[in-house]
Structure 1
Amino acid sequence: MDIKITQNAKEKEHAFRIRTLVFVEEQKVPVEEEIDEYDKTAIHFVGYEDNKPIAASRLRFVEEYGKLERICVLNEFRGKSYGKEIIAAMEQIIKENGYKRAKLNAQTHAEGFYQKLGYKTVSDKFLDAGIPHVTMIKESL
């Protein structure tokens, strides 16, 4: 997978389209919750396979953390380690910006996936867009 940080409106639209397919259509998250005010200032990532956009995420810097958000892979491309690849790309940008810690809110069904990548659960379960989540932190990148 070729991972790019969006540089133009077309690439950003690729990210929003993937997020809409995964979160809005597949998981039934209201579009007004999925696309929010943070999208204007976040760093957006898109993963491409054969020039087709298949994965997306966004990164923000909040307090002392790089905050990984909106990580998703189209259903037919899951199970190929693309989520792991896009997270590695995000963590690299976090380090390049002088941060040493990463944080994310994981859907509880993905908690084990993030644990394998070095993230530790630091919260009780909570609902976000009606979906159970936990906050997870990686202390050292």
Structure 2
Amino acid sequence: MSLCIVRPASWQEDGGALRAVREAVFIREQGVPAELEWDEFDVVCVHLLAMNPSGNPIGTARLLPDASVGRMAVLRDWRRKGVGSTLMDRLLKEAENRQLPSVTLNAQTHATGFYSRFGFQQAGPEFLDAGIPHVKMILQFRPR
């Protein structure tokens, strides 16, 4: 069980916290160029923000209007403590509440096992995104 609080966030109100996590993970840790990290979709996505008990941002994820999950990131010191699972559970509940038939994501290949635990299945060959190996994955929801 995670020792974090996950809440809905908006880019307009929580952009600083969302940016801080993504900058730490994607830009500084993984070397993604800043110009590839930021896009026009942030203002129209459903965002989730994970915070530690002190209220500091430690994780984030977003659901795009096209039913894809993206920009899922957890600070290094908080990995393997349930933060990512809590974010994914909440994001998938949001997708189901919106009655989406499926969601997709581009998983870094080292993280495919994590996404598989939620029912995602690989849906294509490996490809490079920002120089990092990824695979497309899809989760089909069962009809209600």
Match of 1:32 among 35, 40, 58: 35
Provide the TM-score with structure 2 as the length reference.
Answer: 0.90
Q: Once the 2 structures are TM-superposed, how far is the Cα of residue 116 of structure 1 from its aligned partner?
A: 1.5
Aligned length: 138
Amino acid of the structure 1 residue aligned with 2:60: A
| SS of 2:64 mapped into structure 1 | strand
Compute the displacement of 1:98 (Å).
1.7
Show the counterpart of 1:127: 128
Partner Cα distance (1:118, 1:16) in 2: 28
Gapped runs of 5+ residues in structure 1?
Answer: none
After TM superposition, the runs of 4+ consecutive aligned structure 1 residues lying more than 4 A away are none
d(CA) in 2 for partners of 1:119, 1:134: 11
Task: State the 1:48 CA deviation.
Answer: 0.8
Residue pair 2:122, 2:136 contacting (<8 A) in 1 also: yes
How much identity, in percent, do the aligned residues show?
A: 33
C-alpha spacing 1:8/1:15, structure 2 compared with 1 (3 Å): closer
Structure number with the higher strand fraction is 1
For 1:100 and 1:2, the matched residues in 2 are separated by 27
Structure 1 match to 2:45: 42
C-alpha contact 2:11 2:47 (8 A) present in aligned 1: no
Counterpart of 2:103 in structure 1: which amino acid? A
Q: Which residue of 2 aligns with 1:82?
A: 83
Q: Distance in 2 between the 1:29 and 1:7 partners? A: 23
Residue 72 (structure 2) aligns with: 71
Does the C-alpha gap of structure 1 residues 7 and 40 become closer, same or farther in structure 2, counting only changes over 3 Å? closer
Question: Normalising to structure 1: TM-score of the pair?
Answer: 0.92
Please give the alpha-carbon distance, in whole angstroms, between the structure 1 residues aligned to 2:15 and 2:86.
Answer: 19
